[in-house]
Structure 1
Protein backbone atom coordinates (compact mmCIF):
# COMPACT_ATOMS: atom_id res chain seq x y z
CA UNK A 1 0.00 0.00 0.00
CA UNK A 2 1.22 3.50 -0.77
CA UNK A 3 -0.15 7.01 -0.50
CA UNK A 4 0.36 9.56 -3.26
CA UNK A 5 -1.33 12.57 -4.77
CA UNK A 6 -4.35 12.09 -7.02
CA UNK A 7 -2.44 13.35 -10.06
CA UNK A 8 0.38 10.81 -9.66
CA UNK A 9 0.30 8.15 -12.40
CA UNK A 10 -1.14 4.93 -11.07
CA UNK A 11 1.20 2.86 -13.22
CA UNK A 12 4.20 4.42 -11.45
CA UNK A 13 2.64 3.66 -8.09
CA UNK A 14 2.38 -0.02 -8.98
CA UNK A 15 5.91 0.02 -10.38
CA UNK A 16 7.13 1.44 -7.09
CA UNK A 17 5.44 -1.34 -5.11
CA UNK A 18 6.63 -3.99 -7.54
CA UNK A 19 10.23 -2.83 -7.27
CA UNK A 20 10.06 -2.91 -3.47
CA UNK A 21 8.58 -6.39 -3.55
CA UNK A 22 11.30 -7.74 -5.84
CA UNK A 23 14.09 -6.21 -3.79
CA UNK A 24 12.64 -7.47 -0.50
CA UNK A 25 12.26 -11.04 -1.82
CA UNK A 26 15.79 -11.05 -3.21
CA UNK A 27 17.29 -9.59 -0.01
CA UNK A 28 15.62 -11.75 2.65
CA UNK A 29 15.13 -15.49 2.63
CA UNK A 30 11.69 -16.91 3.29
CA UNK A 31 12.92 -18.68 6.42
CA UNK A 32 14.12 -15.35 7.83
CA UNK A 33 10.78 -13.73 7.04
CA UNK A 34 8.70 -16.48 8.64
CA UNK A 35 10.85 -16.54 11.79
CA UNK A 36 10.49 -12.78 12.46
CA UNK A 37 8.55 -12.25 15.69
CA UNK A 38 9.58 -8.74 16.78
CA UNK A 39 8.29 -5.47 15.28
CA UNK A 40 10.65 -3.61 12.96
CA UNK A 41 12.75 -6.73 12.31
CA UNK A 42 13.53 -5.46 8.81
CA UNK A 43 14.04 -1.80 9.69
CA UNK A 44 17.24 -1.68 7.63
CA UNK A 45 15.15 -2.17 4.47
CA UNK A 46 13.86 1.37 4.97
CA UNK A 47 17.09 2.69 3.42
CA UNK A 48 16.16 1.11 0.10
CA UNK A 49 12.58 2.37 0.43
CA UNK A 50 13.74 5.96 0.90
CA UNK A 51 16.14 5.81 -2.05
CA UNK A 52 13.48 4.32 -4.29
CA UNK A 53 10.94 6.89 -3.17
CA UNK A 54 13.28 9.70 -4.13
CA UNK A 55 13.61 8.29 -7.63
CA UNK A 56 9.85 7.92 -8.07
CA UNK A 57 9.24 11.44 -6.85
CA UNK A 58 10.84 12.55 -10.12
CA UNK A 59 9.09 10.54 -12.88
CA UNK A 60 11.35 11.96 -15.60
CA UNK A 61 14.30 9.97 -14.26
CA UNK A 62 12.41 6.68 -14.56
CA UNK A 63 12.00 6.49 -18.35
CA UNK A 64 15.07 4.32 -18.84
CA UNK A 65 14.83 2.34 -15.57
CA UNK A 66 11.21 1.24 -15.42
CA UNK A 67 9.40 -0.82 -18.04
CA UNK A 68 6.04 0.89 -18.00
CA UNK A 69 4.64 -1.22 -20.84
CA UNK A 70 4.79 -4.45 -18.83
CA UNK A 71 3.14 -2.83 -15.84
CA UNK A 72 0.41 -1.26 -17.95
CA UNK A 73 -0.32 -4.67 -19.44
CA UNK A 74 -0.44 -6.17 -15.94
CA UNK A 75 -2.88 -3.51 -14.75
CA UNK A 76 -5.07 -3.99 -17.81
CA UNK A 77 -5.20 -7.78 -17.41
CA UNK A 78 -5.65 -7.63 -13.61
CA UNK A 79 -7.24 -4.28 -12.77
CA UNK A 80 -6.81 -3.09 -9.18
CA UNK A 81 -9.67 -3.02 -6.71
CA UNK A 82 -10.92 0.49 -5.97
CA UNK A 83 -11.92 1.19 -2.37
CA UNK A 84 -14.98 3.38 -2.03
CA UNK A 85 -15.46 6.07 0.58
CA UNK A 86 -18.24 4.05 2.18
CA UNK A 87 -15.80 1.20 2.86
CA UNK A 88 -13.50 3.62 4.65
CA UNK A 89 -16.29 5.25 6.64
CA UNK A 90 -19.00 4.22 9.03
CA UNK A 91 -19.10 0.60 7.89
CA UNK A 92 -15.70 0.09 9.49
CA UNK A 93 -16.62 1.92 12.67
CA UNK A 94 -15.00 5.24 11.73
CA UNK A 95 -16.99 8.35 12.58
CA UNK A 96 -16.00 11.40 10.53
CA UNK A 97 -18.25 13.78 12.46
CA UNK A 98 -16.32 13.73 15.71
CA UNK A 99 -13.12 12.36 17.13
CA UNK A 100 -13.25 9.10 19.09
CA UNK A 101 -13.39 9.64 22.85
CA UNK A 102 -10.15 9.56 24.75
CA UNK A 103 -9.92 6.39 26.81
CA UNK A 104 -6.82 7.20 28.82
CA UNK A 105 -3.57 5.29 28.89
CA UNK A 106 -3.41 2.09 26.92
CA UNK A 107 -3.65 -1.00 29.14
CA UNK A 108 -0.41 -2.45 27.79
CA UNK A 109 1.63 0.64 28.54
CA UNK A 110 4.38 0.05 31.08
CA UNK A 111 5.94 2.18 33.74
CA UNK A 112 9.62 2.94 34.10
CA UNK A 113 11.74 0.35 35.96
CA UNK A 114 11.58 0.24 39.74
CA UNK A 115 14.16 2.14 41.75
CA UNK A 116 15.47 1.44 45.24
CA UNK A 117 13.89 4.59 46.78
CA UNK A 118 10.58 3.66 45.21
CA UNK A 119 10.68 0.11 46.58
CA UNK A 120 11.57 1.40 50.06
CA UNK A 121 8.75 3.95 50.02
CA UNK A 122 6.27 1.29 48.88
CA UNK A 123 7.33 -1.04 51.71
CA UNK A 124 7.03 1.78 54.24
CA UNK A 125 3.54 2.54 52.91
CA UNK A 126 2.58 -1.08 53.48
CA UNK A 127 3.98 -0.79 57.01
CA UNK A 128 1.88 2.33 57.64
CA UNK A 129 -1.18 0.55 56.26
CA UNK A 130 -0.59 -2.33 58.66
CA UNK A 131 -0.16 0.04 61.61
CA UNK A 132 -3.37 1.87 60.74
CA UNK A 133 -5.21 -1.42 60.38
CA UNK A 134 -4.04 -2.63 63.80
CA UNK A 135 -4.99 0.65 65.45
CA UNK A 136 -8.35 0.48 63.70
CA UNK A 137 -9.11 -2.95 65.18
CA UNK A 138 -7.98 -1.80 68.61
CA UNK A 139 -10.25 1.21 68.36
CA UNK A 140 -13.09 -1.07 67.32
CA UNK A 141 -12.54 -3.21 70.43
CA UNK A 142 -12.51 -0.09 72.59
CA UNK A 143 -15.70 1.05 70.88
CA UNK A 144 -17.46 -2.13 71.94
CA UNK A 145 -16.33 -1.74 75.54
CA UNK A 146 -16.92 2.00 75.97
CA UNK A 147 -18.55 4.97 74.28
CA UNK A 148 -15.56 5.89 72.10
CA UNK A 149 -16.22 7.86 68.92
CA UNK A 150 -16.74 5.64 65.87
CA UNK A 151 -15.17 8.26 63.61
CA UNK A 152 -11.70 7.31 64.90
CA UNK A 153 -12.23 3.76 63.66
CA UNK A 154 -13.27 5.09 60.26
CA UNK A 155 -10.23 7.41 60.16
CA UNK A 156 -7.82 4.52 60.79
CA UNK A 157 -9.42 2.35 58.12
CA UNK A 158 -9.42 5.22 55.62
CA UNK A 159 -5.73 5.76 56.35
CA UNK A 160 -5.13 2.08 55.62
CA UNK A 161 -7.00 2.36 52.32
CA UNK A 162 -5.05 5.50 51.35
CA UNK A 163 -1.68 3.80 51.98
CA UNK A 164 -2.67 0.71 50.01
CA UNK A 165 -3.98 2.83 47.15
CA UNK A 166 -0.69 4.72 46.99
CA UNK A 167 1.12 1.40 46.62
CA UNK A 168 -1.26 0.47 43.82
CA UNK A 169 -0.64 3.74 42.01
CA UNK A 170 3.10 3.26 42.32
CA UNK A 171 3.04 -0.26 40.89
CA UNK A 172 0.32 0.03 38.23
CA UNK A 173 -0.19 2.34 35.26
CA UNK A 174 -3.57 4.08 35.36
CA UNK A 175 -5.00 7.31 34.06
CA UNK A 176 -4.68 10.45 36.17
CA UNK A 177 -2.05 8.82 38.41
CA UNK A 178 -0.61 12.09 39.70
CA UNK A 179 -4.00 13.53 40.57
CA UNK A 180 -5.05 10.34 42.35
CA UNK A 181 -1.80 10.21 44.31
CA UNK A 182 -2.28 13.78 45.57
CA UNK A 183 -5.86 12.98 46.60
CA UNK A 184 -4.72 9.86 48.45
CA UNK A 185 -2.01 11.87 50.22
CA UNK A 186 -4.55 14.52 51.19
CA UNK A 187 -6.86 11.85 52.62
CA UNK A 188 -3.94 10.38 54.55
CA UNK A 189 -3.10 13.78 56.06
CA UNK A 190 -6.72 14.36 57.07
CA UNK A 191 -6.92 10.96 58.75
CA UNK A 192 -3.75 11.57 60.74
CA UNK A 193 -4.96 15.04 61.67
CA UNK A 194 -8.19 13.58 63.01
CA UNK A 195 -6.46 10.92 65.17
CA UNK A 196 -3.63 13.18 66.34
CA UNK A 197 -4.70 12.75 69.97
CA UNK A 198 -4.07 8.99 69.80
CA UNK A 199 -0.59 9.30 68.31
CA UNK A 200 2.64 10.97 69.30
CA UNK A 201 4.23 13.73 67.28
CA UNK A 202 6.89 11.37 65.91
CA UNK A 203 4.26 8.87 64.79
CA UNK A 204 2.35 11.57 62.94
CA UNK A 205 5.56 12.81 61.36
CA UNK A 206 6.46 9.26 60.24
CA UNK A 207 3.07 8.58 58.61
CA UNK A 208 2.89 11.94 56.82
CA UNK A 209 6.51 11.75 55.64
CA UNK A 210 6.05 8.26 54.23
CA UNK A 211 2.91 9.40 52.40
CA UNK A 212 4.74 12.41 50.96
CA UNK A 213 7.72 10.33 49.80
CA UNK A 214 5.44 7.75 48.20
CA UNK A 215 3.55 10.51 46.38
CA UNK A 216 6.86 11.84 45.08
CA UNK A 217 7.91 8.40 43.86
CA UNK A 218 4.59 8.00 42.05
CA UNK A 219 5.23 11.34 40.36
CA UNK A 220 8.77 10.36 39.36
CA UNK A 221 7.86 6.93 37.97
CA UNK A 222 6.19 7.87 34.69
CA UNK A 223 4.96 5.64 31.83
CA UNK A 224 7.55 4.66 29.28
CA UNK A 225 7.56 6.62 26.04
CA UNK A 226 7.48 3.42 23.97
CA UNK A 227 7.27 -0.28 24.52
CA UNK A 228 10.62 -1.99 25.22
CA UNK A 229 9.67 -4.76 22.78
CA UNK A 230 10.27 -2.42 19.84
CA UNK A 231 13.89 -2.92 18.77
CA UNK A 232 14.54 0.37 16.93
Structure 2
Protein backbone atom coordinates (compact mmCIF):
# COMPACT_ATOMS: atom_id res chain seq x y z
CA UNK A 1 0.00 0.00 0.00
CA UNK A 2 1.48 3.41 -1.05
CA UNK A 3 1.34 5.40 2.18
CA UNK A 4 3.43 7.51 4.50
CA UNK A 5 4.19 5.34 7.53
CA UNK A 6 6.16 7.58 9.86
CA UNK A 7 7.52 11.12 10.08
CA UNK A 8 9.74 13.00 12.49
CA UNK A 9 11.48 16.34 13.04
CA UNK A 10 15.12 16.09 14.14
CA UNK A 11 17.78 18.61 15.12
CA UNK A 12 20.55 18.04 12.59
CA UNK A 13 23.61 18.84 14.69
CA UNK A 14 23.10 16.07 17.26
CA UNK A 15 20.18 13.95 16.06
CA UNK A 16 17.91 15.07 18.92
CA UNK A 17 14.30 14.17 17.98
CA UNK A 18 12.08 17.24 18.36
CA UNK A 19 8.76 15.75 17.30
CA UNK A 20 7.40 12.61 15.63
CA UNK A 21 4.19 11.02 14.53
CA UNK A 22 2.81 8.82 17.30
CA UNK A 23 2.03 5.79 15.17
CA UNK A 24 1.73 2.36 16.69
CA UNK A 25 2.66 0.36 13.63
CA UNK A 26 2.89 -3.35 14.44
CA UNK A 27 4.49 -4.35 11.13
CA UNK A 28 7.92 -5.79 11.98
CA UNK A 29 9.41 -4.56 8.70
CA UNK A 30 8.39 -1.00 9.52
CA UNK A 31 9.81 -1.28 13.03
CA UNK A 32 13.08 -2.56 11.60
CA UNK A 33 13.30 0.30 9.10
CA UNK A 34 12.70 2.80 11.91
CA UNK A 35 16.00 1.64 13.39
CA UNK A 36 17.67 2.80 10.19
CA UNK A 37 15.94 6.16 10.60
CA UNK A 38 17.55 6.50 14.05
CA UNK A 39 20.99 5.74 12.65
CA UNK A 40 20.46 8.19 9.80
CA UNK A 41 19.35 10.90 12.26
CA UNK A 42 22.80 10.91 13.85
CA UNK A 43 24.48 11.69 10.50
CA UNK A 44 22.13 14.31 9.09
CA UNK A 45 24.61 17.16 9.39
CA UNK A 46 27.09 15.26 7.20
CA UNK A 47 24.60 14.68 4.36
CA UNK A 48 23.12 16.91 1.61
CA UNK A 49 19.93 18.84 2.32
CA UNK A 50 17.71 16.48 0.32
CA UNK A 51 18.27 12.73 0.41
CA UNK A 52 16.55 9.42 -0.01
CA UNK A 53 17.50 5.90 1.02
CA UNK A 54 15.90 2.58 0.18
CA UNK A 55 15.66 -0.17 2.75
CA UNK A 56 13.68 -3.26 1.81
CA UNK A 57 10.12 -2.33 0.84
CA UNK A 58 10.48 1.20 2.23
CA UNK A 59 11.99 4.55 1.37
CA UNK A 60 13.46 6.98 3.91
CA UNK A 61 13.37 10.58 2.65
CA UNK A 62 14.46 13.77 4.37
CA UNK A 63 15.17 17.45 3.80
CA UNK A 64 17.24 19.77 6.00
CA UNK A 65 17.10 23.51 6.51
CA UNK A 66 18.31 25.91 9.23
CA UNK A 67 19.73 23.09 11.32
CA UNK A 68 16.49 21.07 11.37
CA UNK A 69 15.75 17.93 9.36
CA UNK A 70 12.35 16.54 8.41
CA UNK A 71 12.36 12.77 7.95
CA UNK A 72 9.67 10.46 6.64
CA UNK A 73 9.31 6.75 6.06
CA UNK A 74 7.03 5.55 3.29
CA UNK A 75 6.36 2.56 1.07
CA UNK A 76 8.77 2.30 -1.85
CA UNK A 77 5.88 2.74 -4.27
CA UNK A 78 4.95 6.14 -2.81
CA UNK A 79 5.70 8.89 -5.38
CA UNK A 80 8.82 10.91 -4.62
CA UNK A 81 7.14 14.18 -5.56
CA UNK A 82 4.45 13.60 -2.93
CA UNK A 83 7.04 12.56 -0.35
CA UNK A 84 9.08 15.74 -0.71
CA UNK A 85 5.99 17.94 -0.91
CA UNK A 86 4.92 16.39 2.38
CA UNK A 87 8.33 17.17 3.94
CA UNK A 88 8.22 20.69 2.52
CA UNK A 89 4.88 21.35 4.23
CA UNK A 90 6.25 20.07 7.55
CA UNK A 91 9.24 22.38 7.17
CA UNK A 92 7.20 25.49 6.43
CA UNK A 93 4.84 24.90 9.36
CA UNK A 94 7.60 24.05 11.85
CA UNK A 95 9.82 27.05 11.17
CA UNK A 96 6.84 29.42 11.36
CA UNK A 97 5.54 27.85 14.58
CA UNK A 98 8.77 27.61 16.61
CA UNK A 99 11.62 30.06 17.08
CA UNK A 100 15.17 28.95 16.36
CA UNK A 101 16.35 29.99 19.82
CA UNK A 102 13.94 27.46 21.35
CA UNK A 103 14.94 24.77 18.86
CA UNK A 104 18.66 25.27 19.53
CA UNK A 105 18.21 25.31 23.32
CA UNK A 106 16.01 22.20 23.50
CA UNK A 107 17.40 19.62 25.93
CA UNK A 108 14.87 16.82 26.17
CA UNK A 109 13.77 14.67 23.24
CA UNK A 110 10.35 15.44 21.75
CA UNK A 111 10.24 18.94 23.26
CA UNK A 112 7.78 19.92 20.50
CA UNK A 113 5.68 16.75 20.52
CA UNK A 114 2.50 18.83 20.08
CA UNK A 115 3.62 19.35 16.46
CA UNK A 116 2.47 15.75 15.98
CA UNK A 117 -1.06 17.11 15.50
CA UNK A 118 0.04 18.87 12.32
CA UNK A 119 2.09 15.86 11.19
CA UNK A 120 -0.95 13.57 11.52
CA UNK A 121 -3.27 15.91 9.65
CA UNK A 122 -0.76 16.41 6.84
CA UNK A 123 -0.03 12.71 6.67
CA UNK A 124 -3.74 11.93 6.26
CA UNK A 125 -3.97 14.41 3.38
CA UNK A 126 -0.94 13.02 1.59
CA UNK A 127 -2.05 9.44 2.14
CA UNK A 128 -5.12 10.34 0.12
CA UNK A 129 -3.65 12.19 -2.91
CA UNK A 130 -7.09 12.76 -4.43
CA UNK A 131 -7.86 15.14 -1.58
CA UNK A 132 -4.77 17.28 -2.28
CA UNK A 133 -5.50 20.69 -3.67
CA UNK A 134 -1.88 21.86 -4.05
CA UNK A 135 -1.56 20.81 -7.69
CA UNK A 136 0.67 23.77 -8.55
CA UNK A 137 3.04 22.96 -5.70
CA UNK A 138 3.21 19.36 -6.89
CA UNK A 139 4.15 20.53 -10.36
CA UNK A 140 6.82 22.85 -8.95
CA UNK A 141 8.27 20.05 -6.82
CA UNK A 142 8.26 17.69 -9.81
CA UNK A 143 10.33 20.19 -11.74
CA UNK A 144 12.70 20.77 -8.83
CA UNK A 145 13.27 17.04 -8.32
CA UNK A 146 13.96 16.59 -12.03
CA UNK A 147 16.50 19.42 -12.03
CA UNK A 148 18.06 18.51 -8.68
CA UNK A 149 17.38 14.85 -7.83
CA UNK A 150 17.62 13.78 -4.16
CA UNK A 151 20.96 12.33 -3.15
CA UNK A 152 20.79 8.53 -2.96
CA UNK A 153 22.25 7.29 0.34
CA UNK A 154 23.76 3.82 0.33
CA UNK A 155 23.84 1.50 3.32
CA UNK A 156 27.63 1.46 3.02
CA UNK A 157 27.76 5.19 3.76
CA UNK A 158 26.03 4.56 7.09
CA UNK A 159 28.07 1.46 7.86
CA UNK A 160 24.95 -0.69 7.57
CA UNK A 161 25.89 -3.00 4.71
CA UNK A 162 25.78 -5.92 7.17
CA UNK A 163 22.57 -4.82 8.85
CA UNK A 164 21.65 -2.74 11.87
CA UNK A 165 22.80 -5.31 14.44
CA UNK A 166 26.41 -5.22 13.23
CA UNK A 167 27.01 -1.52 13.74
CA UNK A 168 29.90 -0.56 15.97
CA UNK A 169 29.13 3.15 16.26
CA UNK A 170 28.27 4.25 19.81
CA UNK A 171 24.67 5.07 20.58
CA UNK A 172 23.50 8.67 20.96
CA UNK A 173 24.97 9.90 24.24
CA UNK A 174 23.47 13.31 24.68
CA UNK A 175 24.56 16.89 24.02
CA UNK A 176 26.42 18.11 27.08
CA UNK A 177 29.93 17.43 28.37
CA UNK A 178 28.56 17.39 31.90
CA UNK A 179 25.50 15.43 32.85
CA UNK A 180 22.64 17.87 33.35
CA UNK A 181 21.28 18.17 36.86
CA UNK A 182 17.81 18.81 38.18
CA UNK A 183 16.73 22.48 38.49
CA UNK A 184 18.08 24.58 41.34
CA UNK A 185 16.14 24.75 44.58
CA UNK A 186 16.12 27.56 47.16
CA UNK A 187 17.75 25.29 49.75
CA UNK A 188 20.48 24.40 47.28
CA UNK A 189 21.21 28.04 46.48
CA UNK A 190 21.38 28.86 50.21
CA UNK A 191 23.77 25.97 50.85
CA UNK A 192 26.01 27.18 48.03
CA UNK A 193 26.05 30.75 49.38
CA UNK A 194 26.84 29.52 52.91
CA UNK A 195 29.67 27.36 51.54
CA UNK A 196 31.09 30.40 49.77
CA UNK A 197 30.83 32.32 53.06
CA UNK A 198 32.74 29.58 54.90
CA UNK A 199 35.35 29.52 52.15
CA UNK A 200 35.76 33.29 52.47
CA UNK A 201 36.10 33.10 56.27
CA UNK A 202 38.71 30.36 55.96
CA UNK A 203 40.59 32.33 53.34
CA UNK A 204 40.67 35.49 55.48
CA UNK A 205 41.88 33.57 58.54
CA UNK A 206 44.45 31.83 56.37
CA UNK A 207 45.96 35.12 55.18
CA UNK A 208 45.99 36.43 58.77
CA UNK A 209 47.85 33.29 59.79
CA UNK A 210 50.39 33.93 57.03
CA UNK A 211 50.99 37.41 58.46
CA UNK A 212 51.35 35.96 61.96
CA UNK A 213 53.77 33.36 60.65
CA UNK A 214 55.99 36.07 59.19
CA UNK A 215 55.96 38.01 62.47
CA UNK A 216 55.81 35.39 65.24
CA UNK A 217 56.81 32.17 63.47
CA UNK A 218 53.46 30.50 64.15
CA UNK A 219 52.69 26.91 63.14
CA UNK A 220 52.44 26.59 59.36
CA UNK A 221 50.05 23.64 59.71
CA UNK A 222 47.26 26.04 60.76
CA UNK A 223 47.68 27.90 57.50
CA UNK A 224 47.41 24.63 55.59
CA UNK A 225 44.25 23.71 57.53
CA UNK A 226 42.59 27.04 56.68
CA UNK A 227 43.38 26.77 52.97
CA UNK A 228 42.29 23.12 52.83
CA UNK A 229 38.98 24.16 54.39
CA UNK A 230 38.64 26.88 51.76
CA UNK A 231 39.34 24.40 48.96
CA UNK A 232 36.84 21.88 50.31
CA UNK A 233 34.06 24.49 50.55
CA UNK A 234 34.68 25.76 47.02
CA UNK A 235 34.77 22.22 45.67
CA UNK A 236 31.40 21.50 47.27
CA UNK A 237 30.00 24.50 45.36
CA UNK A 238 31.44 23.05 42.16
CA UNK A 239 29.94 19.63 42.85
CA UNK A 240 26.56 21.22 43.51
CA UNK A 241 26.66 23.13 40.21
CA UNK A 242 28.03 20.44 37.87
CA UNK A 243 27.45 16.76 37.28
CA UNK A 244 30.66 14.70 37.41
CA UNK A 245 31.56 11.07 37.91
CA UNK A 246 31.65 9.85 41.54
CA UNK A 247 29.91 13.08 42.53
CA UNK A 248 28.39 11.85 45.80
CA UNK A 249 31.62 10.20 46.91
CA UNK A 250 33.57 13.39 46.21
CA UNK A 251 31.07 15.43 48.24
CA UNK A 252 31.48 13.12 51.27
CA UNK A 253 35.27 13.35 50.97
CA UNK A 254 35.03 17.15 50.84
CA UNK A 255 32.83 17.14 53.92
CA UNK A 256 35.35 14.88 55.67
CA UNK A 257 38.11 17.36 54.82
CA UNK A 258 36.02 20.20 56.27
CA UNK A 259 35.54 18.23 59.50
CA UNK A 260 39.26 17.37 59.77
CA UNK A 261 40.38 20.95 59.17
CA UNK A 262 37.98 22.24 61.82
CA UNK A 263 39.10 19.57 64.27
CA UNK A 264 42.67 20.76 63.83
CA UNK A 265 41.60 24.40 64.25
CA UNK A 266 39.50 23.79 67.38
CA UNK A 267 41.89 25.90 69.50
CA UNK A 268 41.47 28.89 67.18
CA UNK A 269 37.67 28.73 66.98
CA UNK A 270 34.93 28.65 69.55
CA UNK A 271 32.25 26.00 69.67
CA UNK A 272 29.72 28.08 67.71
CA UNK A 273 32.19 28.72 64.88
CA UNK A 274 33.06 25.03 64.65
CA UNK A 275 29.37 24.12 64.70
CA UNK A 276 28.63 26.63 61.92
CA UNK A 277 31.37 25.38 59.58
CA UNK A 278 30.58 21.70 60.08
CA UNK A 279 26.81 22.24 59.78
CA UNK A 280 27.21 24.21 56.54
CA UNK A 281 29.44 21.43 55.16
CA UNK A 282 26.84 18.79 56.08
CA UNK A 283 24.02 20.88 54.58
CA UNK A 284 25.96 21.36 51.32
CA UNK A 285 26.69 17.61 51.15
CA UNK A 286 22.99 16.87 51.57
CA UNK A 287 22.02 19.30 48.78
CA UNK A 288 24.60 17.76 46.44
CA UNK A 289 23.10 14.35 47.20
CA UNK A 290 19.55 15.60 46.58
CA UNK A 291 20.33 17.36 43.29
CA UNK A 292 20.53 14.31 41.05
CA UNK A 293 21.09 14.15 37.27
CA UNK A 294 17.96 14.69 35.21
CA UNK A 295 16.27 11.44 34.32
CA UNK A 296 15.84 10.79 30.60
CA UNK A 297 12.46 10.12 29.16
CA UNK A 298 11.82 6.43 28.37
CA UNK A 299 11.99 7.11 24.64
CA UNK A 300 15.13 9.28 24.78
CA UNK A 301 17.15 6.88 22.67
CA UNK A 302 14.29 5.89 20.39
* TM-score bucket (shorter structure): 0.5 to 0.7
1:150 CA displacement = 1.5
Question: How far has the Cα of 1:159 moved from its partner?
Answer: 0.4
The answer to which structure has the higher strand fraction is 2
Partner SS for 2:78: helix
The answer for the alignment partner of 2:170 in structure 1 is 99
1:20 matched residue in structure 2: 86
What secondary structure is seen at the aligned counterpart in 2 of 1:162? helix
Q: Please list the CA deviations of residues 145-197 of structure 1 after superposition, one character each: whole Å capped at 9, or x if unmatched.
A: 34433122111001011112222333x32323433322221221221122223
Quick check: 1:105–1:175 contact (8 Å CA) kept in 2?
no
Give the 3-state SS of the residue equivalent to 1:11 in structure 2. coil
Deviates more, 1:109-118 or 1:125-134: 109-118
Change (3 A) 1:105 1:174: farther
Structure 1: unaligned runs, 5 residues or longer? 56-61, 67-72, 227-232
Once the two structures are superposed, the pairs formed by residues 2-41 of structure 1 within 5 Å of their partners are: 3=33, 6-8=56-58, 9-12=75-78, 14=80, 17-18=83-84, 20-21=86-87, 24=90, 28=93, 32=96, 36-37=99-100, 38-39=102-103, 40=112
Larger radius of gyration: 1
- Contact 1:173 1:223 survives alignment (8 Å): no
For 1:39-67, what per-residue CA distance to the aligned partner results, in whole angstroms no more than 9, with x for missing partners?
Answer: 339713233367589x7xxxxxx89999x
Structure 1 residues 24, 151: CA separation in 2 closer, same or farther (over 3 Å shift)? closer
Question: What value does the CA root-mean-square deviation take over the aligned residues?
Answer: 4.5
CA contact (8 A) 1:111 1:223 kept: yes
User: Which structure: greater helix fraction?
Assistant: 1
Contact 1:16 1:52 in 2 (8 A): no
Unaligned stretches of 5+ residues in structure 2: 1-5, 8-32, 35-54, 59-74, 104-111, 133-141, 161-165, 297-302
Alignment size in residue pairs? 205
The answer to whether 1:165 aligns with 2:238 is no
TM-score (norm 2): 0.51
CA–CA distance in structure 2, aligned partners of residues 162 and 168 of structure 1: 10
Aligned mate of 1:175, from 238, 244, 250: 244
1-side partners of 2:93 and 2:168: how far apart? 44
